[in-house]
Structure 1
Amino acid sequence: MRAPHDPGGGAVSLTKPGPQACSRRAFSIPFPIMRLPTFFPMSAAFVLSLSGCAVGPDYRAPELPAMPQAFKHDTGWQTVRTPVAEDGAWWKAYGDDRLDGLIDELEAANPGVAQAAARLRQAEAALRGTRAGFAPTVGGELSGRRSGTADAVANSYDGTLSVSWLPDVWGRVRRAAEAGQAELEGSAADLAALRLSLQASLAQAYIRLRVLDQQRELLLQTETAYTRSLQLTRNQYEAGMIARADVVQAESQLENVRAQLLELVDQRAVAENAIAVLAGRPPAGFALAADGSLVAMPPVPTALPGELLVRRPDLVVAERRVAAANARIGVAQAAWLPDLTLGLSGGYRSAEFRHWFEAPNRVWALGPTLAGVLFDSGARAAALDDARAVHEAAAEAWREAVLAALQETEDAFASLRALEARAGQQARVVALAEENERLVTNRYRAGQVSFLEVVVAQNGTLAARRGALDITRDRLQASVQLVAALGGGWSGTTAVR
């Protein structure tokens, strides 16, 4: 937008044909000297009429790739339409009171959440500071000075009250406030995105810990069974029915299970420490008892791809950054135009303090000031180019984030689908392994096979059962990933415009 000019010698006109312009208006500035009650209101009215203009492009969301009508991997098997409870507490679908309590601790004590909340308050303060630019500034001054020359000494007592207003003629403050509002909304969504990420991390760590407890219980049961097998082989060896090698194999098998139990102790400690830190507590004073429970597998959620744009807080963060960058283009463009300042001051000035408030000592000043930069060696042009480049980068970052969100959601749906099929297949593997172990054990007791075949069968059963637990863990964690990919329990008020 070009700066206003005076083609006719007295009328200032502003024309804005598109999103960067105002409607056409014509104004005349009265230059003859007026009284204060007449001049100041007319000047203010003139400035306010100009203030309907705001340079820079109005915001429109950048074009996105065509959004599909549905996700590729979620058809034919989802069970619920929404991924969250009415109160947004998506983790309650897993039916574990201890997990609910840990999430509450995370909300109250996690340092990352506290930092994001502080950044949100910082954005609120910055927006209030920007909006203060709409209002006049009132100042006061009291001074007493004594000065002189070689021939005389004089005193001066001044008291002044001043009002200065920089009207937002070109919309610089409005564009800056638009940017601040977008940043505030982005900070709120950023807080929600961090919460969702931490909640998902805690839920996955909790699932991992509970599955480790299940595996420990399985290994303890296996240790008991292998101990009985070892006693059986020892009895048969002492009776001269088998060779010493069978006893060694039974002992080796038992010690291997005990080694796996020690490995689980280390893995569980790591998971427990991770949960403690996420909950904002020192690991040394935190412990979760092994109660043998396992969270429930919740119904698989689903959504339409387009809903991700307003339901995923990280996408809202990216979109609000585009809006803020767009508003800053207007701020950079406004730097090319002169600033109009209206000033009014009044007070008293006297050489003697006792006569300070007498009428002849009153002083006042009133007048507009028009100031602008005539030459800056291209600094404003560089700032405008920088603002446009920042906007372009933010727009591309948003497009990238949308594509990444679609990929994450598709990956989560595909993983859940594959894991569901694997869970059914693994259940059949477990059943066959248990049947094979039963048959081989009976044949061994009948003296038809060596203990080596029993060892192979028992190890096969253990591996199948542990594999089933691993798949259960992966399914539960994949369901958490899917809920996070769909935006969790966040319900934002910011829509893509």
Structure 2
Amino acid sequence: MFDIRKSVIRKALVVAVAGALSACSTLPHYTQPQTAVPDHFASTPQASAGWTLAAPADAQPRGPWWTLYGDDELNRLEAQVDVSNQTVRKAVAQLEAARAMVDYQRSGYSPVVTAGTSAQRFRTSQNVVHKGLAGHTVPDFSAGLAASWEPDLFGRVKDAVVNARDNAQASEADLESVRLSVATDLAIDYFNLRSLDRQKKLLDDTVTAYAAALRIVQQQLKDGAIDASAVAQAQTQLESTRTQDSDIDVQRAQLEHAIATLIGKPASSFSLPPKVETVTLPQIPTGVPSQLLERRPDIAAEERRVAAANAQIGQARAAFYPNLTLSAAVGLESSYYAPWLTASSLFWSLGSQIAGTLFDGGRRSAALKGANAQYDGAVADYRQTVLVAFQQVEDELSTLNTLASEADSQQRATSAAQLSLKLTTNRYQAGAVSYLDVVTAQTIALTNERLTQQIDARRVDASVQLLKALGGGWDRASLTDANATD
């Protein structure tokens, strides 16, 4: 009967302690901060702008978003970013450090066990009264185990674990932000380089045509059909175009070096052969603004930091409560080796201690105020990041729309300039105008053709920036242990 009563009492105590532990949590309830989210993006879609409003069945780009452009060379370069880019590798190292901190804080749930052995001899002064070992030399040999454990009565360890876990998730999102940024820089540099390749081809062909024209007017000068001014004008135009052609080489080399750095290679050992194929803009479904909160890794990182700051408040609150420490020690101790392993050499101890701070001059209150202030700052950072994300998407949508109109207008201007050049050349050959008119028409035509190429390059850049602004197909659900609780 007595054993039954002890069993009932023991179970009741276990239930009571468990209830007390759950009731004493200092972690504040956390909810994701609210932000003002528009119902739709302000820009009006155009069919040729390179983006569309997402229908319910539209699949958002996932994973390697750059494959939307269908460029095998770009795909090969992007695959090297994770392996060789040093900025990405640093972000990976920071993530590993943050994850290690989670394990470090979790270890607070476990007892600390130490083991040790010692051998010493000591002598106390003979002139010390009331001391039994006065004047004696004593050898002391001991070995033992000691353990201590602080039950997490008020959630101090739990709050520290939650804080570390949320910071680790923030670091994971930071890594994705770095990857997205580096991949975007690489894609923009690559497409700008390809635009220069197309402009280079245009200028090479133009230099060839101008050189042929110069030979014609030189022959006409020899024949006495024209004066020397026409030859000077043709020579000026040819050399000016050659200068533009050479400047393309400088810009291309710089972009090639930038790409080498992004993929972690020395600039001197990297090169890309020219390629003049045009880039087709992919149709990018944008979805609704609220989806940005789940797609953008930088938004996810800031939200996780808000959660970590919330856990920091719990840690500051836990400091107001006492700590309970349970300890135990066991071992062997003797002045001689011979009886060391006998029962008479055994020593042990069991103990508990509860201690709390009664007065600290307001240190804990100040720490709590600071934690609350840091939380407010984290919320402000989160909301600002959301606002910037909406701005970036709107900027790129507006840019794509405007550039689509510019491209149509510029194409008409280029066609008109080509027609003007053709007509002016015919009139010159008929003797109706001077060669200066031909030079002017050629310059206008070349300028418009280069503007067409440059606008096309800007459209590609804007589409890449839109993919970045939309998160590059990243999904917040991919965060490790996103819903884990401790």
How far does residue 156 in structure 1 lie from its aligned partner after superposition?
2.2
- TM-score of the superposition, structure 2-length normalised? 0.90
The match for 1:370 is: 354
Is residue 123 of structure 2 the alignment partner of residue 135 of structure 1?
A: no
Task: Give 1:225 deviation, angstroms.
Answer: 1.4
TM-score by length of 1: 0.88
CA drift of 1:231 comes to 1.9
**Corresponding residue SS for 2:284:** coil
| Separation of aligned partners in 2, 1:474 and 1:468 | 10
1:111 matches 2:82: no
Deviation, structure 1 residue 41: 10
The residue type equivalent to 2:93 in the other structure is A
The 1:222–1:469 alpha-carbon spacing in structure 2 relative to 1, beyond 3 Å, is: same
Please identify, of 259-268 and 366-375, the stretch whose mean Cα deviation from structure 2 is larger: 366-375
How is 1:75-86 mapped onto 2 (pairs within 5 angstroms)?
A: 75=45, 77=47, 78-79=51-52, 81=54, 85-86=61-62
1:124 to 85, 99, 123: 99
Q: 1:205 to 1:57 in 2, by over 3 A?
A: same
Equivalent residues of 1:57, 1:326 under 8 A apart: yes
Tell me which residue corresponds to 1:61: 32
Alignment partner, residue 66 of structure 2: 91
Partner of 1:161 in structure 2? 145
Aligned counterpart, 1:447: 431
Shift of 1:40: 11
- Kept in 2: contact 1:172–1:331 (CA 8 A): yes
Quote how far apart the aligned CAs of 1:354 are: 1.8
Structure 1 residues 237-284: Cα deviation after superposition (integer angstroms, max 9, x where no partner): 222222211111011000000010111111111111100000100001
- The answer on 1:215 being equivalent to 2:199 is yes
1:389 corresponds to 2:360: no
Q: Does residue 1:70 correspond to 2:45, yes or no?
A: no
> Can you list the C-alpha shifts for 1:114-140, whole angstroms capped at 9, x where unaligned?
000001110110000000001111112
Bigger CA drift: 156-165 or 315-324?
156-165
Residue 39 of structure 1, CA deviation:
12
Aligned residue for 1:178? 162
Aligned equivalent of 1:289: 273
Distance 2:115 2:215 in 1: 98
Gaps of 5+ in 2: 1-6, 127-134
Distance 1:294 1:325 in 2: 49
Which is further off, 90-99 or 345-354? 345-354
Distance 1:145 1:43 in 2: 45
In structure 2, the CA distance between the partners of 1:362 and 1:49, relative to structure 1 (3 Å rule), is farther
Structure 1 residue 222, shift from structure 2 partner: 0.8
Deviates most, 72-81 or 350-359: 72-81
Residue 456 of structure 2 is matched in structure 1 by 472
1:496 offset after TM fit, Å? 10
For residue 79 of structure 2, give the secondary structure of its aligned residue in structure 1.
helix
Give the letter for the 1:234 counterpart: Q
1:418 aligns with 2:402: yes
Partner residue, 1:354: 338
8 A contact 2:414–2:449 mirrored in 1: yes
1:323 Cα offset (Å): 0.5
3-state SS, counterpart of residue 353 of structure 1:
coil
CA distance in structure 1 between the partners assigned to 2:298 and 2:61 by the alignment? 20
Q: Decide whether the 8 Å contact of 1:333 with 1:384 is kept in 2.
A: yes
CA distance in 2, matches of 1:301, 1:227: 48
Cα 1:125–1:42 change in 2 (3 A) is farther
* Partner Cα distance (1:234, 1:483) in 2: 53
1:56·1:329 contact (CA, 8 Å) conserved in 2?
yes
Q: Secondary structure at the match of 1:336?
A: coil
Partner of 2:189: 205
Cα distance in structure 2, aligned partners of 1:159 and 1:300: 71
Q: Which residue of 1 aligns with 2:441?
A: 457
Deviation of 1:234 after TM superposition, in Å, equals 1.7
For 1:167 and 1:49, locate their aligned partners in 2 and report how far apart those are by CA, in whole Å: 14
How many residues align? The count is 459
Residue 146 of structure 1 corresponds to: 121
Q: After TM superposition, give the deviation of residue 74 of structure 1 in Å.
A: 4.7
> What residue identity is the alignment partner of 2:208?
T
Q: How far, CA to CA, are the matches of 1:456 and 1:124 in structure 2?
A: 66
Q: Secondary structure at the match of 2:139?
A: strand
Q: In the alignment, is the contact (CA less than 8 A) between 2:294 and 2:300 conserved in 1?
A: yes
Determine the structure 2 residue equivalent to 1:26: none
One-letter amino acid matched to 1:284 = S
Unaligned runs of 5+ in 1: 1-36
Query: How far, CA to CA, are the matches of 1:39 and 1:363 in structure 2?
Result: 31
The question of whether the paired residues in 1 share the 8 Å contact of 2:46 and 2:52 is answered with no
Change (3 A) 1:74 1:139: farther
Query: Aligned letter for 2:26?
Result: V
Distance 1:470 1:496 in 2: 47
- Aligned pair partner of 1:298 in 282, 288, 292: 282
Offset, 1:298 = 1.5
Answer yes or no: is the 8 Å Cα contact 1:83–1:486 preserved in 2: no
Q: In 2, are the aligned partners of 1:172 and 1:334 still within 8 Å (CA)?
A: yes
Whether the 8 Å CA contact 1:322–1:394 is kept in 2: the answer is: yes
1:195 is the counterpart of 2:165? no
Structure 2 vs 1, CA of residues 137 and 41 (structure 1 numbering), >3 Å: closer, same or farther? farther
Following superposition, the deviation at residue 377 of structure 1 comes to: 1.9
- Computed over aligned residues only, the root mean square deviation of the Cα atoms, in angstroms, reads 2.2
Corresponding residue of 1:482: 466
Range with greater deviation from structure 2 (100-109 or 222-231): 222-231
Cα distance, 1:302 vs. partner? 1.2
Tell me how far apart the structure 1 counterparts of residues 17 and 147 of structure 2 sit (CA, whole Å): 16
Q: For residue 474 of structure 2, give the secondary structure of its aligned residue in structure 1.
A: coil
Q: Given that residues 136 and 165 in structure 1 are in contact (C-alpha distance below 8 angstroms), is that contact kept between their aligned partners in structure 2?
A: yes
Q: Provide the rounded CA distance (Å) in 1 between the counterparts of 2:325 and 2:473.
A: 49
1:328-355 deviation line (CA, Å, top 9, x unaligned): 0110111111111111222222232222
Distance 1:76 1:451 in 2: 43
